[in-house]
Amino acid sequence: MSTPIDSSAWFDEAFRAAPLMAILRGMGTERSLELAATAWDLGIDMVEVPIQGSADEEALAAVVRAGRERGKAVGAGTVIDAETVQSASRAGAAFTVSPGLDLDVVRASEAEGMPSLPGVATASEVQIAQKHGLTWLKAFPASVLGAEWFTAMRGPFPQVRFVATGGMHARNAPDVLAAGARVVAVGSALADADELSRLARIIEN
């Protein structure tokens, strides 16, 4: 077991390069490798591969290896229990992402040396997370919460940094970022040439 890591400090540095993260869900190994390379070439350093089965774990391990060759951090998504934390660790994930807030999962991930990005959707969850020292949180599902949610949360929680996840793409990302999100996570947009050009403009700005 590794020395517990400070999730907040780690994500401060990890998201410094670009306000975007790539999510490669259920794409298989070959397609995940292709889109991870697309993301890295575009300037998106952070890539997440959700793991909900053995095929996903194989894809994650492959993307982790490719990321190491390019000095990129690859994380495991949909980490919802201690068993998934261990799967992420075995695959070599650099960080974990969860759909909800489970402090046991956060601590288990940190104890394995993997910073944790838990999901929130309410003020109560944000407050609990902040109380436990977490300042980077995944807002999920972001497209359902809407841009105004981020503006509202910025008032009582000015220190919290949100990663908008779920239903996000290059067309709605600018509004969400302007409303207060620090990072937007995209998936299928990486396979669309028109979306890629829009994502590039977001990074440039």
State whether the Cα torsion 4-7-71-119 is positive or negative: positive
Owner of token pair 């996840």: 165
Instruction: Say which of 48, 57, 110, 112 is annotated catalytic.
Output: 48
Active site residue 138: yes
How far apart are alpha carbons 58 and 64 in whole angstroms?
10
Neighbours of 130 (CB within 10 A): 17
Q: Which of 30, 69, 138, 195 is catalytic?
A: 138
Taking Cα atoms as reference points, which of 86, 73, 10, 85 lies closest to residue 47?
73
Active site residue 48: yes
Query: Could you give the C-alpha distances from 103 to 78, 108, 119, 134, in angstroms and in order?
Result: 14, 8, 11, 10
Report the C-alpha gap between 154 and 183 in whole angstroms.
14
- Cα(166)–Cα(179) distance, rounded to whole angstroms? 16
Q: Which residues contact 126 (CB under 8 A, 6 or more apart)?
A: 120, 137, 153, 157, 160
Nearest in space to 72 (alpha carbons), one of 38, 46, 34 = 46
The set of catalytic residues is 48, 138
